[in-house]
Amino acid sequence: MMVATSLKTCRYCIIKLMDKTVIVIVIGGGPAGLMAAEILSQHGVKVDVYDSMSSLGRKFLLAGKGGLNLTHSESFEKFITRYGNRRDKIEPLLKEFGADNLREWARGLGVETFVGTSGRVFPVEMKASPLLRAWLKRLDEAGVQFHLRHKWKGFAVMAQGSVLAAGDGDESKGLSMIFETPDGEKVVKADVVILALGGGSWARLGSDGEWTGALRQIGAEVAALRPSNCGFDVSWSDHLRAKFDGSPLKSVALSFKEFRQQGEFIITKEGVQGSLIYAASALIRDEIEAKGGAVIHLDFAPDKTKEQIIEKLSRPRGSRSMASHLEKTLGLKGVKVALLHEFVAKDDFVNTEKLAAFIKALPIPLIAPRPLDEAISSAGGVTFESLDENLMLKKFPGVFCAGEMLDWEAPTGGYLLTACFASGRVAALGALRRLDENN
């Protein structure tokens, strides 16, 4: 996939069409949309950003609530593997604007970053709000106009007051967007449109996925939105659900098919959630969709072999209870012991070899992903096959797509944000190239 990365053919600082300043609108005020607006404004194009919420960057701010994980410091070769079966589509975007570019861009806004112990990159202040404020100030000074509480409802190609069939393809006729506003329905015409409408998670922050129907109506191929970086339901006993809801499970290794990683997650009354679960969530979700369920395995002693565990458990315990013996010999207590009781039969619990095997690989059956609206992000969206190399819809010239509404997914760790920024930039460059070609 080749990406338009420069505008060497651009003939004008301010692009004009039929003696009128070109109007480009960006719909969506998250990282992808704001990056697109920045690139466009840098080339003198009039940009109007529309967003359904009363303020911009709602989900971006939420992502920074516990410390904004902006990107990751690992090598590019490893970084691009995080995008799974969409690696070949995301890689060209990141080659033009990757992790190092993103850190430099943040520095330009006065936001210094640092690399944490996990390799993740954070702003020194550990917050999203200072970066967003500086960014919006830059855009405002560049002349970008913001229109809040404007919810996109769809679009039509207009020509002298009449509505043409979607996908008509006559770019000379312009594009009209329909918005729902506090003052009623509003129609806005533009020469080029960049859609950065987000995915389908956290609808209360603006990413409700309602745009999928409108895009399908005009011939775009849109894969169904599915939860990504999500938790899963487990059929816990009443005892475990009541006593251990919210309990962290630390220093464990999770195995599922080819995936194995050490980390931590949380037990909830519904099931499991947290960083270690999210890292494997795409594989687990796909397995559940294919087979109706999935079984993960937990290693409660990843630094010990089964043989070492057997040796420790075989030591005399005297009058100590098994729970006390597990804590004394292996440091297992609380929720870890509760999980063993949850899934290990009584006879196996007193069999040293079998118990050791369960400590190294306790099976946890997962029933279903948590609802899409609870997920950190979503998979699915506008397929790359329906877009050209500039992220423009093939069946609807002049309309570009960027950000999480594209059909890709990645684990947490800065990978989501980095690709959103990069795709917004590519869509904007593609829009500029199209405008130039049509003059």
380-402: pLDDT as tens digits: 999 999 999 999 999 999 999 99
User: Is there a domain that residue 371 lies in?
Assistant: no
The verdict on 101 and 181 lying in the same domain is yes
Q: For residue 120, is it within any domain?
A: yes
24 domain-assigned: yes
What size, in residues, is the chain?
439
Q: Rounded to whole angstroms, what are the CA distances from 45 to 58, 350, 397?
A: 26, 73, 19
236 and 223 within one domain: no
Are 112 and 80 members of one domain? Answer: yes
* Chosen domain end from 336, 366, 396: 366
CA 30 – CA 198 distance, rounded (Å): 8
Instruction: Note whether residue 162 is domain-resident.
Output: yes
- Of 366, 389, 415, which one is at a domain's C-terminal end? 366
Range of the domain at 57: 16-227+378-437
Same domain flag for 102 and 184: yes
Number of domains in the chain: 2
- The pTM of this model reads 0.88
Residue-wise pLDDT tens digits, 234-256: 999 999 999 999 999 999 999 99
Give 95-132 pLDDT, tens digit per residue. 999 999 999 999 999 999 999 999 999 999 999 999 99
Q: Are residues 336 and 383 in the same domain?
A: no
Contact assessment for residue 223 and residue 407, using Cβ atoms and an 8 Å cutoff: yes
Residue 10 lies in a domain: no
- Give residues with Cβ within 8 angstroms of 296, minimum separation 6: 254, 255, 256, 280, 284, 363, 364, 366
Least confident stretch, 29-43, 195-209, 354-368: 195-209
Residue 8 located in a structural domain: no
Q: Is the dihedral of CA 125, 129, 130, 132 positive or negative?
A: positive
**Domain edge (last residue) among 366, 390, 424:** 366
Asked if 31 and 107 sit in the same domain, the reply is: yes
Output the pLDDT for position 319: 79
Are 357 and 268 in a shared domain? yes
Who contacts 107 (Cβ-Cβ below 8 Å, separation ≥6)? 113
**Dihedral pair phi/psi, residue 125, rounded to 5°:** -80, -5
**In a shared domain, residues 248 and 394:** no
Residue 1: how many other CB atoms lie within 10 Å = 14
Query: Comparing C-alpha atoms, which of 321, 351, 317, 343 is closest to residue 333?
Result: 321
Together in a domain, 385 and 357:
no
Asked if residue 236 and residue 362 are part of one domain, the reply reads yes
CATH value at residue 58: 3.50.50.60
Shared domain check, 384 and 267: no
